Amino acid sequence: MDALMRESLFETLVGLAVVFVAGFFLVFSLSQRSDAGKAGGYVLLAKFPRADAVAPGTDVRVAGVKVGSVTDVKVNPETLRAEVKLTVSRDIQLPLDSTAKIQADGLLGGNYVFLEPGGDPDNMPTDGSGVFEYTSGSVDILRLLIDAVTAAGGGGGDTGEATEGQASQGMAP
């Protein structure tokens, strides 16, 4: 019976350790999410021709540092362009001529919205009416790779057959 009690106590302690570690990771992951909207951020609107892999919660970065997040993504039924609402930290003031670009976070990573500050002396409004005049949509990396492979293997390669000029000169491959 004493061995049974020790085994039961051991299983209970292991279970508590697993729950503690899982709780620690949950708290840690939640603490790493800095939602600029909850921290007093302001809303900006960016209109893109395409917004692949951008969804609510996607990072918004300036100089590689997260300064906000995407809060909404929808298609404008009149222009058929993606409208992306961004919440940016209030301590980040962007010039009026700043650009918003959708960029890939590496080959296998997701996308993020990169804000490139412009040089205008006036800043974007922080009352929710700010709209980016200059945007650049996402690049479909898979499509670029397919096009590159097709172009490299396609036009003008050696098919192993002699052309009419080569055959008449005895230069068949």
Q: Does the pLDDT of residue 34 top 60, yes or no?
A: no
Range of the domain at 61: 42-150
Domain membership flag for residue 171: no
Domain membership flag for residue 118: yes
Contacts of 87 (CB under 8 A, 6+ apart): 35, 36, 37, 41, 42, 43, 44, 60, 68, 69, 70, 71
Q: How far from the centroid of its chain's Cα atoms is residue 130's Cα? A: 22
pLDDT tens digits, residue range 79-95?
A: 999 999 999 999 999 99
Q: Which two tokens stand for residue 23?
A: 């709780």
Q: Does the pLDDT of residue 69 top 90, yes or no?
A: yes
Burial of 2 (0-12, 13-18, 19+ CB in 10 A): exposed
Whole-structure pTM value: 0.61
Strand order of the β-sheet with 99-104 is: 130-131, 42-48, 82-88, 65-75, 59-62, 111-116, 99-104, 134-136
Domain membership flag for residue 91: yes
Q: Does the pLDDT of residue 17 top 60, yes or no?
A: yes
Q: Does the pLDDT of residue 1 top 70, yes or no?
A: no
pLDDT tens digits, residue range 115-124?
A: 999 999 999 9
Domain membership flag for residue 55: yes
Domains held by the chain: number: 1
Q: Does the pLDDT of residue 143 top 80, yes or no?
A: no
Domain membership flag for residue 6: no
pLDDT band with cut points at 50, 70 and 90 for residue 33: low
Name which residue leads in pLDDT, 9 or 25: 9
